[in-house]
Amino acid sequence: MRVRLYKPAKSAAQSGLATSQQWLIEPEAATPRLPEPIMGWASANDTFSSLKGCLRFPSQEDALAFAKNKGWEILITEPAERHVHPHPYRDTFRIVSPQDEEKATRKT
C-alpha cells in the first residue's frame, strides 16, 4: 500500500499553529470512489480510506518508523517554509492621500 506522509498547513481561518505541528499519514486511494447503486452515496471498496486524518505522529521519524513497520511505500512531502512579513499595527489605519500615493509610485 502506498501512503503519503506530510505536515498539514495551518487553517486559513485560524491564527494558531496547534494542528499543524504533527505529521500525518494518509493512504492513497487503492480503488476509485464510485456512486453506490441503491443510495447514490460515494463509496470505495478500500477500507484504508477511513484512516484519512487519523494517523498523527509528533515527529517525522515516528511516522516513518510506523509506516516502515507496516511495510507501506512512503511518499514524503516536506512542509513549505513559512514567511512572515511583519508590519507595524499603525499602518493598518494609515490614510494615504492620492497625491502621496502618486509620489511613492514615481520614486520606485
The domain ranges of the chain are 2-80
Determine the pLDDT at residue 61.
93
Contact of 87 with 15, CB cutoff 8 Å: no
Question: What integer pLDDT is reported at residue 71 of this predicted model?
Answer: 93
pLDDT at position 60 is: 92
pLDDT at residue 108 above 60? no
Q: Please write the tens of the pLDDT for every residue from 40-92.
A: 787 777 777 778 878 999 999 999 999 999 999 999 998 888 787 888 888 87
pTM, 2 dp: 0.64
| pLDDT single digits (tens) 25-35 | 998 877 777 88
Q: What is the pLDDT of residue 45?
A: 75
Mean pLDDT over 97-102 rounds to 76
Give the pLDDT score at 107: 65
Q: How far apart are CA 30 and CA 52, in angstroms?
A: 13
Across the beta sheet with 23-27, what order do the strands follow? 55-57, 23-27, 2-6, 73-77
The architecture of the domain spanning 2-80 is: 2-Layer Sandwich (3.30)
1, 3, 8, 22, 70 from 76: Cα distances, Å? 14, 9, 12, 14, 16
Residue 17: per-residue pLDDT: 73
pLDDT (0 to 100) of residue 76: 92
Write 97-102 long-range contacts (CB < 8 A, 24+): none
Q: Name residues whose C-beta falls within 8 Å of residue 19's C-beta, 6 or more positions apart in sequence.
A: 8, 10, 11
CA distance 94 to 89: 9
